[in-house]
Amino acid sequence: MTAAALTPSPSSTPLWTTLADELDVAPSLYERATDRHTSLGEWLCRPESSLARYEPSVRPQGSFRFGTVIKPLVEGATYDLDQVVTLRRLGTQDLSQFELKRRLGVELAAYARAHGMQALDEKHRCWRLKYRDEVAFHLDSLPSVPAAEAAVLQLRRLGVDERWALRAVAITDDRHPQYNVVGAEWLTSNPSGFARWFEARAALGRAGATGRSAQASVEEVPPYEWRTPLQRAVQILKRHRDVMFQNAPSLAPISMIITNLAAQAYEGEQDLGQALAGIVERMGQYVRASVPRVPNPTHPAEDYADKWRLQPALEDNFWRWVEQVRTDVRYFSQQALSPDLVQRRFAIRLSEDQQRRLTNRAASAAAAPAIVAAAAPARIDGAPRPWQSTPRDRSTY
């Protein structure tokens, strides 16, 4: 059943845009993150690297890849970077998960020593590098090899677009019962496919807003510079979640669930107020009644809500949050500006100048006829060129 349409008030889009601007991190932070990934890719591909002959590919993932990073609630908090390292000349029949993870760990440990960093932390699936300079980062590096052909074919049979299916990888997990066995069946995942899928969803609004094809629009700038309605809506939803669960962050809905459902619920609206209103009304419809509850659209067996079965409170909190954010977006979409409520819900204090500008823009918008443009069809065939690779190292991104 389709949710009833909600028509935002003239004041809502300027408000949401102002909040998204407040949540944005500086472009230099994205550039610094890009440098981290590039530097590590160069290290793994250097002549002395024990992995160079296996053609390492380093691809960023997560919010820095999607362009949905937000400022943390607590000043000085650590930013999370995620990447997938794929050894393209190895396969699941060539070595065990343990051995793949060990080999990458050797190179990452050498990288950390060479750059005066702390010792590596080992996680179940990845290695964690910790950076500490003007901005605190930690980088989770996931070892992988290309997924077996049978796994890719299975994704195609499940209806996954070939462009996304071909990006699937086999990953390491020390909880796997055959973690130490060569030739055993591995877990598969598709973080790169999901990133491309999300970019295609985000580009729906970008293409329509520019009046050009999506392909032309996405090749000019990296995704973190797009600032599409979908990306900005995800930023706002994440901040609302952060504030609501600031006293129990481990029980909050995870960002991948929010990002996934928001992208599915997005219908190409070019206006941020309309996009956000539509997303909060529809996103709950994309939670499945059976496992997988919130599947990766580019790897349907992968469930972003897999912890709900073991921790029912996580699902309860998700639905509590969905109801609250829907209530709040409805309120801000229909009522006059309330700076106090903005601060309570988003931990953002609007300045007097911002309040005055928002009030004036709302008055002007109320006097003008509403114009709603339809989103143009979009097709994304390739990656955004400027950040797909670098002149220094084509293995990166």
What does the H/E/C string look like for the chain? CCCCCCCCCCCHHHHHHHHHHHHCCCHHHHHHHHHHHHHHHHHHHCCCCCCHHHCEEEEEEHHHHHCCCCCCCCCCCCEEEEEEEEECCCCCCCCCHHHHHHHHHHHHHHHHHHCCCCCCEECCCCEEEEEECCCEEEEEEEEEEECCHHHHHHHHHCCCCHHHHCCCEEECCCCCCCCCCCCCCCEEECHHHHHHHHHHHHHHHHHHHHCCCHHHHHCCCCHHHCCCHHHHHHHHHHHHHHHHCCCCHHHCCCHHHHHHHHHHHCCCCCCHHHHHHHHHHHHHHHCCCCCCCCEECCEEEEECCHHHCCCHHHHHHHHHHHHHHHHHHHHHHHCCCCHHHHHHHHCCCCCHHHHHHHHHHHHHHHHCCCCCCCCCCCCCCCCCHHHHCCCCCCCEC
CA distance 45 to 41: 6
As a whole-number percent, the residues of the chain with pLDDT over 90 amount to 75
Which whole number is the average pLDDT over 118-147? Answer: 93
Going by pLDDT thresholds of 50, 70 and 90, the confidence category of residue 68 is very high
Sign of CA dihedral 385, 390, 391, 395: negative
Radius of gyration for the alpha carbons in the chain, expressed in angstroms and rounded: 22
Average pLDDT value for residue range 221-245: 94
With a cut of 60, say whether residue 291 has pLDDT above it.
yes
Query: What value does the mean pLDDT take over residues 95-106?
Result: 98
**pLDDT over 60 (residue 210):** no
Structure tokens at 19: 């909040």
Q: pLDDT-based confidence at 214, cuts 50/70/90? A: very low
Place of tokens 């309309």: 274
Domains and CATH numbers, the chain: 12-24+200-367 (no CATH), 53-195 (3.30.460)
At 74-99, the pLDDT tens digits run 888 899 999 999 999 999 999 999 99
Does residue 364 have a pLDDT over 90? no
